[in-house]
Amino acid sequence: MNYLLIEDDDDHARLTTRSLEREVGAPCIDRIRDGESALQYMRSLAANPHAHRPSMILLDLKLPRISGLELLSEIKSTPALRRIPVVVLTTSDAESDRNEAFDRHANAYLVKPLDFEEFRNMLRSVHEFWSRWNRPTSDI
């Protein structure tokens, strides 16, 4: 399973990457640091039908330049990208953010736990669900 992590905070990105590597082995994890760069990357994926797409996008909401919510709308409104699961991974537990993310077709909304062990367990569970139990379409 290959992940695209869209996260501007270096510490959060490091924790996410290390947790996934420690909990599930060495999955492929690519990272983009801001919404504008992520939008350019996603548009290039959409334009190239042979491009290797991520199995899942882990998306922070609070991104510089273009917000995670704007990026989510763009991904889910683009036919070539909309089937890629987008899991919001954020510190915000605000109901308005959750509602807005689901209105824009997020596949899941996860609030980053403050406890490192809980964070690792959460990522292990996410990986197991999406890689073992979920049955994606063949074009992801």
Q: Which residues of 114-129 are buried (b: 16+ CB within 10 A; e: fewer)?
A: eeeeebbebbeebbee
Q: Which residues contact 136 (CB under 8 A, 6 or more apart)?
A: 55, 83, 85
pLDDT in tens, 60-94: 999 999 999 999 999 999 999 999 999 999 999 99
- Separation between Cα atoms, residue 14 and residue 11, nearest integer Å: 5
Domains of the chain by residue range: 2-133
- Confirm whether pTM is higher than 0.85: yes
pLDDT of residue 91: 95
Considering only the top CATH level, what class is 2-133? alpha beta
- Separation between Cα atoms, residue 86 and residue 47, nearest integer Å: 19
Asked if the model's pLDDT at residue 109 lies above 90, the reply is yes
pLDDT of residue 26: 62
Tokens representing residue 57 in the block: 């996008």
Report in angstroms the alpha-carbon separations of 83 from 38, 39, 94, 115.
17, 16, 26, 31
